[in-house]
Every structure is written in C-alpha cells, then in structure tokens.
Amino acid sequence: MSVMKRVSMIFKAKANRALDRMEDPRETLDYSYQRQLEMLTQVRRGVADVATSRKRVELQMNSLRQQQNKLQGQAKQALGAGREDLAREALSRKAALDSQLTDLENQYHSLQADEEKLTVASQRLQSKVEAFRMQKETIKATYTAAEAQSRIGEAVSGISEEMGDVGMAVQRAQDKTAQMQARAGAIDELMASGALDDISGTPRDDIQAELDSMRGGQNIELELQRLKGELGTGSKQAIEGGAGASDGAGASDGAAQSAAAEQPQAGDGA
C-alpha cells in the first residue's frame, strides 16, 4: 500500500515529533489540547470566512440579475417605440452578462460545498477534541509517566491526524476564498465604474439616455399640443393676461437688461 502507507507515515512522523518534544509525556497532553482548541477556532473562522465570501457572491449575482432585468425592460421600451436597433443593443448587452453570471453561480456553488464540508469537519474535530479532553484527564489521574506513554501516543496520534486533515481543508478554503475575494473585488469595481451597465465601454447608460431623449421629445410634443389647445379655446384671455407675464419673463431672461427691466417690475408691484 505504497501511496496509502506513505501518506500515513508522514502524518505519524508529525505526531511523533510533537510527542518527542516533551520530557514528561503527560505534558504533551496539555500542549496537544491547546493546539486542538486553536485549531477549532481556526476552523470556525474558516467556516465564517467562506460564508462571508458566499454572501458577497450572492449579492453580486443579484446585482447582475437586476441589471439584466433593466436591459430587458429597456429592450421592450425601445421596441414599443419602434427602435429595433436599440432593442437589439440592449438584448446583446444582457446576453454579455450571462457569462459573468454563470461564473458567479459556479463560484457560489463551490463556496457552498466548501462551507458544508468545513462545517462537518469542524463538528468532527469538536467531537474528537471532547473525547481527547476526557481521555487526557483519565490518563493524568490514573497512570504514571511511564505507563501513560503508549496511551498518550495513541490519543495524540489520532487527534494530530485529524488536525492535519482539518488544517489542510481550512488552508485550502482560505486560499480559495482569498482568490474569490480578489475576483469579487474586481467585479465590484467594474460595477462602481458603471462599465457593467454598459458593456461597450461608454461610462454612462447610453441606451437609457436615448430612450429618455425619445420620451423627452414625446413629452415636449404633448406639451405643445396641450398649449396649442389652450390657446385655441381661450385666446382672448390668454392675450390679455399674457401682457404682464411677458414683461416678467423678459426681466428674468437677461441679466444685462436687469436695470431696465426693474422699472416695469416696480411699476407692476405699485
């Protein structure tokens, strides 16, 4: 069993080094127990880090989906206004976000799996640490240093193997989380810069600007129609009432004419 045996020998060598370090093997028990508690803290922190990372990816997925919905809405609006070219542009930007979303979804599932594995590992280590604590007390109470040696060796090797295993899992999860944080940071920056709003690279949302200007244009037309309508129904009132109003408008228009304009305004007030 070469691979199997060799890996286990390396783990055993680590445990033996810990045992050799102490003169009284019973001291090893306390030392090892301290290390176990530290490892438990480390694993729990690892679980929390992975969960934080997963939540961040989730938020980003939500933002991207919102962005896609917005583009979908814009495409509909553009099509409604007879602008197929603009609708096509919006839909193609929506499609461009798909690959980013897929990437985030993969990260999310991978982090979720890591979180579950680490949680199980942390529970297993917790059980073993508790079993070790009980054995430690028994060994210290009932055995002399010489008698205790073999029992301590067994307990320490067993737990040290578990710690090595869990330690590697935490290390791996942390490395992966760090990588994902870096990628998440890059996406956050892209979102903040507005580049994701518009894949073509222009800083502002030009589709929305065009839709707005189209709508703005329509509104002006409507307003004009309404004003024309008003003029048509009550033209006399509008002309009589409009004389003073046009003077007032002239006053606010030009700062250079302000001195001249003040006179009719003062006259109006008196």
Question: How many residues can be counted in the chain?
Answer: 270
Instruction: Indicate which single residue of 56, 160, 187, 211 sits in contact with other proteins (rule: CB under 8 A).
Output: 160
CB of 112 to other proteins, least distance (A): 15
Among 84-92, 93-101, 128-136, 196-204, which window interacts with other proteins (CB under 8 A)? Answer: 128-136
Q: Is 95 in the site for other proteins (CB under 8 A)?
A: no
Instruction: Indicate which single residue of 163, 184, 187, 207 sits in contact with other proteins (rule: CB under 8 A).
Output: 163
CB of 28 to other proteins, least distance (A): 14
Instruction: Indicate which single residue of 103, 105, 165, 198 sits in contact with other proteins (rule: CB under 8 A).
Output: 165
Instruction: Indicate which single residue of 15, 57, 104, 180 sits in contact with other proteins (rule: CB under 8 A).
Output: 15
Name the DSSP class of 234: S
**127 with 31: CB under 8 angstroms?**
no
CB of 108 to other proteins, least distance (A): 18
Q: What is the Cα–Cα distance from 52 to 191, expressed in whole angstroms? A: 19
Q: Report the phi/psi class of residue 84: left, alpha or beta, with left for phi > 0 and alpha for psi in -120 to 50.
A: alpha
Burial of 93 (0-12, 13-18, 19+ CB in 10 A): buried
Burial of 152 (0-12, 13-18, 19+ CB in 10 A): buried
Instruction: Indicate which single residue of 5, 182, 243, 246 sits in contact with other proteins (rule: CB under 8 A).
Output: 5
CB of 10 to other proteins, least distance (A): 5
**118 with 170: CB under 8 angstroms?**
yes
Name the residue nearer to other proteins (CB basis): 95 or 131: 131
Among 50-58, 68-76, 162-170, 245-253, which window interacts with other proteins (CB under 8 A)? Answer: 162-170
CB of 109 to other proteins, least distance (A): 14
Name the residue nearer to other proteins (CB basis): 3 or 243: 3
Instruction: Indicate which single residue of 50, 57, 71, 159 sits in contact with other proteins (rule: CB under 8 A).
Output: 159
Q: What is the Cα–Cα distance from 148 to 138, expressed in whole angstroms? A: 10
Q: What is the Cα–Cα distance from 73 to 71, expressed in whole angstroms? A: 5
Q: What is the Cα–Cα distance from 197 to 93, expressed in whole angstroms? A: 9
Q: What contacts 64, CB < 8 A, 6 or more positions away?
A: 97, 100, 101, 104, 196
**153 with 12: CB under 8 angstroms?**
no
Name the residue nearer to other proteins (CB basis): 22 or 91: 22
What mask of x and - would describe binding to other proteins in positions 224 to 263, judged by CB under 8 A? ----------------------------------------
**96 with 200: CB under 8 angstroms?**
no
> Collapsing DSSP states into helix, strand and coil, what is residue 23?
coil
Instruction: Indicate which single residue of 29, 121, 211, 261 sits in contact with other proteins (rule: CB under 8 A).
Output: 121
Contact footprint for other proteins (CB under 8 A): 1-8, 10-15, 35, 39, 117, 121, 123-124, 127-128, 130-132, 135, 154-155, 157-169, 171
